[in-house]
C-alpha cells in the first residue's frame, strides 16, 4: 500500500468532526478556527519502540498510549483537548497492525472529542510523534511556576503500577499472571486526567503530569516556582499489587522514580484545599495529599514521621552526555 492510500484508508476516516476544523487531512496544512477569548495549548511527544513501550506491545495499546500521553500534558495545563496531528514511522505497511493502531488511537480521540487533523507517514524504525492542541480560557491555564510555599501537594490516582510492569518486561522480576494483568493495563492503557485538569483550573496553583517519576516531576515544579517540598512517603498512593510484590520500602522507591503513570501532580493553597477536594471527589477522582511546599528549594521526605534521604532520580533520556 502506498503512502497516500494508507492515509486515506486508515487515518482520514474518523468519527470526530469538530466545527472548529475548517480544513483537516488532505491539504498541505490543517486550518482551525479557535474560539474567542481562549488560548491554544500545544504539546508534542515522541514514542519510540523499545524506549517508550516494549517492542511487543499490541498496536491497539500503542495507538491509545500515543494519544494519552499528549492529552495528559494538556490536562496538566487545564486545557480542553481539541486536535492532534500524528507522524508515524513504520518499518513496513502491515495493514492489520495499522488498523489496530488506529482503533486504539481513535477510541481515545472519540472519547475526548479530539479530531486528527494531519500528520505524516514514513518508513523506518517504529516511532510515533503526536502534536496535540487544546483550548484554555484566557488566563485560566495552570503552569509549573505558580506554586507558593505553604501550598499542599496532591497526586491523582495511584503511582508505581506501570513501572512494575516494566520491571517484569525487563526481567528484573517475574509477576504472576493476575498481578501482571493489572499492572500491564496501567502501562499500556493510561487514562489522561483531562476532567481533573479542567476542574483544577479553578483551584490549582501549579500542575504537571507524572511521566518521568514523582521526584523528577516534582523537581520541575519546585525549580519553576522557586520552592521546596516535604513529602510524606506513607501517603503515596501505591497500588496494592506493587506493595504485595515489593514490600513497602521498594514499592515507595518505585513510586518515586518509576514514571509512566500519567497521573497529575499538583499544588493547592490552603484557601482552595477544601473546594478542590470536594470538586474532584464528586467527580469520582481518587486524591492523595502527599506533602507541602516550603521555601527551602529542596525536596525532603518523611517515612513513619522520621526524615529519610531521597537518593534516586526519575527517568532521563540522556545521561552522561549521551
Ligand-binding site membership of 112 (annotated): no
> Which residues fall within 8 angstroms of residue 8, CB to CB, at 6 or more apart?
none
Provide the residue count of the chain.
Answer: 322
18 has binding-site annotation = no
Task: Name the grid cell of 65.
Answer: 498510549
What is each CA distance from 212 to 93, 257, 270, in whole angstroms?
Answer: 32, 7, 28
Non-local (6+) Cβ contacts of 158 within 8 A are 186, 237, 238, 239, 261, 263, 286
Is 170 annotated in a binding site? The answer is no
- Residue whose C-alpha cell reads 517484569 in the numeric block: 168
211 annotated binding-site participant: yes
Residue 261 among known ligand-binding residues: no
CB-based contact 297:290 (threshold 8 Å) = no
120 marked among binding-site residues: yes
73 is in an annotated binding site: yes
Give exposure, 208-244, as e/b (b: 16+ Cβ within 10 Å). bbbbbbbbbbbbbbbeebebbbbbbbeebbbbebbee
- At residue 62's C-alpha, the angle toward residues 47 and 218, to 5°, is 50
CA distance 71 to 76: 9
Residue 60 in marked binding region: no
Is 203 marked within a binding site?
no
Grid look-up 506491545 returns 57
Strand, helix or coil for residue 148: coil
**Is 151 among the annotated ligand-binding positions?**
no
- For residue 48, with 0-12 CB atoms within 10 Å meaning exposed, 13-18 middle and 19 or more buried, which class applies? middle
Q: Confirm or deny that 28 is annotated as ligand binding.
A: yes
Q: Which residues are annotated as a binding site for Mg(2+)?
A: 28, 43-45, 73, 120, 209, 212
Q: Which residues are annotated as a binding site for ATP?
A: 119-120, 144, 211
Q: Which residues are annotated as a binding site?
A: 28, 43-45, 52, 73, 119-120, 144, 209, 211-212, 260, 315
Q: Which residues are annotated as a binding site for substrate?
A: 52, 260, 315
Amino acid at each position: 500500500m502506498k503512502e497516500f492510500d494508507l492515509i486515506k484508508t486508515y487515518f482520514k476516516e474518523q468519527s470526530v468532526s469538530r466545527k472548529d476544523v475548517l480544513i483537516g487531512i488532505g491539504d498541505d496544512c490543517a486550518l482551525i478556527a479557535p474560539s474567542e477569548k481562549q488560548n491554544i495549548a500545544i504539546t508534542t511527544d515522541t514514542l519510540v519502540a523499545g524506549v517508550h513501550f516494549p517492542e511487543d506491545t499490541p498496536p491497539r495499546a500503542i495507538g491509545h498510549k500515543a494519544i494519552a500521553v499528549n492529552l495528559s500534558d494538556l490536562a496538566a495545563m487545564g486545557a480542553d483537548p481539541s486536535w492532534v496531528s500524528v507522524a508515524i514511522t513504520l518499518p513496513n505497511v502491515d495493514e492489520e497492525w495499522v488498523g489496530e493502531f488506529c482503533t486504539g488511537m481513535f477510541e481515545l480521540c472519540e472519547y475526548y472529542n479530539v479530531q486528527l487533523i494531519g500528520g505524516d507517514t514514513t518508513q523506518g524504525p517504529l516511532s510515533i510523534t503526536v502534536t496535540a492542541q487544546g483550548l484554555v480560557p484566557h488566563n485560566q491555564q495552570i503552569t509549573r511556576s505558580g506554586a507558593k510555599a505553604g501550598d499542599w501537594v496532591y497526586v491523582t490516582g495511584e503511582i508505581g503500577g506501570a513501572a512494575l510492569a516494566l520491571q517484569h518486561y525487563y526481567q528484573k522480576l517475574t509477576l504472576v499472571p493476575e498481578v501482571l494483568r493489572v499492572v500491564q493495563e496501567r502501562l499500556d492503557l493510561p487514562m489522561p486526567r483531562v476532567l481533573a485538569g479542567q476542574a483544577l483550573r479553578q483551584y490549582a496553583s501549579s500542575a504537571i503530569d507524572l511521566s518521568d517519576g514523582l521526584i523528577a516531576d516534582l523537581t520541575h515544579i519546585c525549580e519553576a516556582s522557586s520552592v521546596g517540598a516535604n513529602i510524606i512517603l506513607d501517603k503515596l498512593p501505591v497500588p496494592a499489587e506493587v506493595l504485595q510484590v515489593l514490600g513497602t520500602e521498594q514499592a515507595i522507591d518505585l513510586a518515586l522514580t518509576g514514571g509512566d503513570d500519567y497521573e497529575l501532580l499538583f499544588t493547592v493553597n490552603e484557601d482552595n484545599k477544601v473546594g478542590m477536594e470536594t470538586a474532584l471527589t464528586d467527580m469520582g477522582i481518587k486524591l492523595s495529599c502527599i506533602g507541602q511546599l516550603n521555601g527551602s528549594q529542596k525536596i525532603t521526605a518523611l517515612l513513619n514521621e522520621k526524615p529519610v534521604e531521597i537518593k534516586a532520580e526519575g527517568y532521563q533520556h540522556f545521561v552522561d552526555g549521551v
